[in-house]
Chains A and B, each alone.
Chain A
Amino acid sequence: MSLTKAERTIITSMWNKISTQADAIGTEALERLFASYPQTKTYFPHFDLNPGSAQLRAHGSKVVAAVGDAVKSIDNIAGALSKLSELHAYILRVDPVNFKLLSHCLLVTVALHFPAEFTADAHAAWDKFLSVVSNVLTEKYR
């Protein structure tokens, strides 16, 4: 599964807008993940996960920065996220099912903040892009 030229254009142009609120988007996506899918909290026993916590904001920021890296290297996402892929495979070992859950929460957050831009085509492009990112992050698992 690879992104078409049209999909890449949609992603990169929307990213220009999204990146202006990147930290807030990342934090909100994580809040939604933990609210809707409480089992995902099991990966963060060492965090204060209350909404507004500094750790949550820092981590949300980190997650979205990585998405941004993928956008900036949209022609070579595997290369851009190679180190992160190893981190998830060997250290973090987050079960692959959770990438779908976080991707969904990122989509919801983007839809909410950018309703006009989140057309059906944009929805499709972002869902596919996040799916590619998720695949890259789990491709070294076994």
Chain B
Amino acid sequence: MVHLTGEEKGIVTGLWGKVNVDEVGGEALGRLLVVYPWTQRFFDSFGDLSSAAAVMGNAKVKAHGKKVLDSFSEGLKNLDNLKGTFAKLSELHCDKLHVDPENFRLLGNVLVCVLARNFGKDFTPQVQAAYQKVVVGVATALAHKYH
């Protein structure tokens, strides 16, 4: 359960309204694959991931990043029920995709870095703190159905 104050919820949705979800998704997923190369293990079918330039320019990475972030956006609309919102996806990631939940934590932190880079000073310590709570909540929700 993620516990955000009313103010924090406002902070989170306020910033998210300015996020280019299409681009930020690809950026975050790309950086995950570059910074933590072992995460590439899930993406054998994505083609050339041999360099940072290749990863960041890869069309499949961008498309998948967008998919992931669209899903994350849904979560932001349901901060009071992340476990319910991500229940089906949690089962999918466990039963079909076999993704170690540690990867959700890694991606969450990479997303925070991307937001910091994009928003500069607007990404204050308070904004970061709110987002750290959100990414932990999403990661936990995605791991909730694992067995």
Contacts and interface: CB of A to CB of B under 8 A. Distances in A.
A120 B55 contact: yes
Nearest to B109: A104
A112 B132 contact: no
B13 interface: no
Contacts, number: 62
A119 B132 contact: no
Interface residues of B, number: 25
Contacts of A37: 132
A103 to B, nearest CB: 10
Nearest to B131: A36
Interface string B120-138: 1101011011001000000
Interface in A81-126: 104, 107-109, 111-113, 115, 118-121, 123-124
Contact of A108 (B30, B31, B52, B116): B116
Query: Chain B interface mostly helix, strand, loop or mixed?
Result: helix
A124 B35 contact: yes
Shortest beta-carbon contacts, A-B, top 6: A35-B125, A111-B117, A35-B129, A36-B132, A120-B52, A120-B34
Given A111-B114, A121-B34, A123-B35, 20 more contacts: A28-B125, A31-B125, A32-B129, A35-B125, A104-B112, A108-B112, A108-B113, A111-B113, A112-B116, A112-B121, A113-B120, A115-B118, A120-B30, A120-B55, A123-B34, A123-B110, A123-B113, A124-B34, A124-B52, A127-B36
Interface of A: 28, 31-32, 35-37, 51, 104, 107-109, 111-113, 115, 118-121, 123-124, 127
29 contacts: A28-B125, A32-B125, A32-B128, A35-B125, A35-B126, A35-B128, A51-B125, A104-B109, A104-B113, A107-B113, A108-B116, A108-B128, A109-B116, A111-B113, A111-B114, A112-B119, A115-B117, A118-B117, A119-B52, A120-B30, A120-B31, A120-B35, A120-B52, A120-B56, A121-B52, A123-B35, A124-B31, A124-B35, A124-B52
